[in-house]
Structure 1
């Protein structure tokens, strides 16, 4: 069967195997086309080509191998013998273009960056439902990103390929189970502009501010304001570390605007001086205090770190 011959030849660790196996791929396609019933091999073909198309987003050399394989498939299997979904999948024009691809970078320690900056994230559009509260948000970064491309676990890659095959076959129960495996590993397949994108999940704590907890006065307003700022936007996030709750601590920029500055000036957060000594944040908080904006309309608003401490002590 085509499924076994092709699927077991695939090597997720490098594009050279994909290039070398195009000859094998062509031979097996030819053998498949000689069968009285081509449909008997279609499921394996879909699974194989799904792996080519998916991994094309990760490395340009795999894109070249994929292009060759797709051309072979079109030459050997007449389009009139194929279901419309498979004919579309096998058409070379549907392969992602190289301009959207990135080269895989070697794993290893990044060079030291100034001021404690660890790395930078560029996110996919944020969903308002991903706003946890006024200082925490869940974001997703595409695995085509230069930093992410070399870090996708092999088991996640395999699950994505198997899920594509299950969706083609209409086995949605299996597809859902495979997507759960993907999400449990910290990834998700997002549908954006009619395109499936594999993305890594990050839980971000806004650096240097502390917003009221959701059940505190102005907690709901802080969450709603952050959602209003971030909803549907792609963000640049500078990551400086990780807190004890495994959240990445970072500065968030939305369309060039520093989000922490907005939250402080709107009176919906404190400058968290225990962990941050930046004078600008202190100045922005004082501006809101002077104008009695947001939570500063109250004469003595309770500080969220004191509120959390009281909650812990009275459990």
Structure 2
């Protein structure tokens, strides 16, 4: 019996049509410079970017240009009066510092306390663990309007009203941070932790040496979302803070709006400065954010 070997053409990738690089025998398939989905996503992204673009453009307009009807979509000339007014305000650096302190402390505490609580719910079985987890998740469904008065009374009893502590203490740990980290910890293989236990590591050392280095995407997501929530918060500082030296940036920007007159150029410029740290934080953690959301949903 004569065995014929397959021809090189049959085995060559050039003869296939499913590898995405060749269009047929002897004809290389040309790659598209973009996905067809981009034709839909690009206009959609532009729609979402229009308010931000208009905010930036309006920050370089004068009050007369902003108040003109019909509204101007493009500044006829660059006017930096709004930025000079905002940066020339003696309290603006203090407001910026207050927001930064509150946000960074909230981020650090949520990472530490959220990781400890999330690991306990993910790996430790104790009496009432499922009940405590359910109660904690149920608090996420309670609107802030129902809890602001009890929170205010607690902060008043602690003597923290009109201080930055009144803004920091309620944000030290959030149910969302605990839940997200728990879900991510559940997706990690137990074998790594069991090997560390056999080497004599304690639970805290396993968490610090093994689990947390593998959980950087989830930690980045918690950090970014906590920073966004705390940095942009206006309602709670409006209730808990009275003196302008303790204002956060969002609360301080409301002073540019009066009952009879609003300096819109300053409002726009102040909002641009306020948005910059938020955009920077999200862009730096964008890949980790997406990876965490996809990984934390593997197990329930």
Same fold (TM over 0.5): no
Larger-Rg structure: 2
The structure showing larger relative contact order (alpha-carbon pairs under 8 Å, at least 6 residues apart) is 2
Q: Whose helix fraction is larger, Structure 1's or Structure 2's?
A: 2
Q: Whose strand fraction is larger, Structure 1's or Structure 2's?
A: 1
